Structure 1
Amino acid sequence: MQFNTKTIHGGQENIDPAYGAVMPPIYQTSTYSQTSPGNHKGFEYSRSANPTRTALENSLASIENGKYGLAFASGLAAIDAIIKLLKPGDEVISTNDLYGGSYRLFTSIFEGLGIKFHFVGMESTTAVEAKINKNTKLIWAETPTNPMMNIIDIEALAKIAKTNKVLLAVDNTFATAYLQQPLDLGADIVMHSATKYLGGHSDVVMGSVVVNNEELANKLYFIQNASGGIAGPMDSFLVLRGIKTLHLRMQRHSENGRAVAKFLSEHPKVEKVYWPGLENHPNHEIAKKQMKDFGGMVSFTTKGNSYEDAIKFTEKVKVFTLAESLGGVESLAGHPASMTHASIPKEEREKTGVVDSLIRLSVGIEDEKDLIEDLKQALA
């Protein structure tokens, strides 16, 4: 199947033989009857497995060209499960420009449990190689990064990981499988905050993980079941529904993202625009190589680096909504320094470019003319 067909049919089969429902039903049940102890129809308790969640997990694996999919209660629950593959004394090399919640989980929870994290800029792979030692067990990469839209060469990182026998995990939230498929580029683990583009309608919180290696999958399934951070059947249904229009939405997100980035880059009050599709964007050539298009996430700074001007802008937008999160059909505007990345100390934020004037846009699928007019009036 080609990708657009996979979003509809990938990994799916008729799981409702009783009535032939076209859409997988919502199995809102915690347990299942057994004819004798251990003799059941593949499901015994919904923390371990649920038919609706299984249908979603099969779909997730299909669109990422993976073999094994797992759905979690949130993106952070998915990351939590991945880091639980490690043990005290193990070390992780992470991109230094990453989602604030990931940084908080790494530094406030897992560092206290004996896992060491090195945060480095991954625009060049030499910084990663310099940090690898005998204790390194995992490389953690976001690409594009949140919120600076930095591009990391997944294929190059995968070669380093394999040479040094460490795992490579890629947070694919911003790109989705429509724009890039990290497993095909050599990654071991691909993770999503499915809350974002996979759900696509700002009505669900969920995380996902996809892998190809059976042994790795079994470890993650064990952690998923033992820790219990699983996705519920209703949420699974909503994300499965979202995936069916992923290709259509991502195409429009990318088209609108291009129009917004072009407008902002020509505006006299804008200092800098961060969007991988711009030719002057760092690692633009890598983005062209590993991405189908460049998505709907755009960040920019206003001239003068004024905190007050950034706040005023977010208060003045009308079509864009000032809100946390991203990836829904509606356009959102956020101020990372005071919102999504507030958990990262100011001096650490600013090292990666998250200055007080930085604004992050999640460009939705509205008419591009309305989006441009809204940005124009808010900047004025």
Structure 2
Amino acid sequence: MGTRNTTEDYGDGNWTNPRVQAENQSYLASQRQPVYAQPGYDQGPPAPHPAPYRYTDPYQPTPAQVAPASAWSPRRKPAFSLARRFAGVLLALLTLATGLTGATAYWAQTTLVDTQNFTAMTEPIAYDQDFQSSLATAVTDDIMASPTITTYLGDGNSTAWYGGVQNWLYDQTRGVVDTATQSLVTSEAYPDLWAQVIADTHAYNFSGEARPAILDFSAIYDSAGSSVTDATGLGIDTGTLPGRTVTLDTGQNIWPINSAINSFIALANLWQPLLFVAALAALVGFVLWPRNRFAYLAVIGFVGAGLLWLAGIMGGGASLTAGLQLPTSNTAVVFVQKLSEAITASFATYHNDVALKVLIAAAVLTLLAILSAILRLTARATTARTR
């Protein structure tokens, strides 16, 4: 009998049964392979699955809502803004101080120190009727008091037995002299004579020396002496007449007019440095000012115009002869008073004109400041929209 190849020979579930071994091996092999393949180290993380619509993870914080960008971006604060403003204010004060002083110094240089302009300023005095009458009378009195006249004609008050004739001749001669001097101050030669008087007076008084101020009528006295000599035949020496040069400073070692003139000379010599410092200070302040620089200059201009206008008002109303010991000569008194009025009027006119020009410049700078501000705001708005 042969051998049977059945499971009964090994028994059900016997591990020695080849069929059971094959099933066990197949099961173990399936257990060694994972259901889902594990990613390798060289592979990236798996792609996330999209979350359902409006799904929020309860364990994650809610992100903050970002506010929409503003149309106006915040202004950046300039570096060292406070220090630059402080320096700008100091430079503005320096500009005003040196600028106003320099403007006055320029007026002193062009109006007082300059001989031609000083002559032009005093020209109305020469044609003032009170001054002309006083000048002609003073020249007549000096000529009639000259040694040549008094030697032959006396003083017009002779009490001698021939006094009547002598006094009559004196009166006749005085009439001739008075006619000659009155004709002189109204003649065609008078403007040239007056220009020479002012030139001589200016050259003496504006020499910078410490000495009493004078009024030099030498040119008029010489011309009047020649006219009287031609009319009377008497040789009149006008070189020794007391009214030829009139002293304006009558104090003892105190000469206020001379001191004032020397002060104006010193001030006039500084007009260029003062205006240069003013321009430089304004330029540096313009560069340092942190914001609208045209507005900075405009403010300086408006303040400067106001100060110039105020200086013109105060200077125009000032009296240069107040408290001044005037000379004894009536001609010199009239001249000093008229010259004082001419100087104050020139001072007021000059400062008012400069104030108007500075005011116009400040108005232009204000328009530039407004235009600059508009352009800056427009540029900021455009930059904010393009971000």
In which range does the TM-score fall when normalised by the shorter chain? under 0.3
TM-score (norm 2): 0.23
Using the size of structure 1 for normalisation, the TM-score is 0.24
Higher helix share: 2
Structure with the bigger RCO (C-alpha within 8 Å, sep 6+) is: 2
Bigger proportion of residues as strand: 1
Computing the radius of gyration over CA atoms, which structure comes out larger, 1 or 2? 2
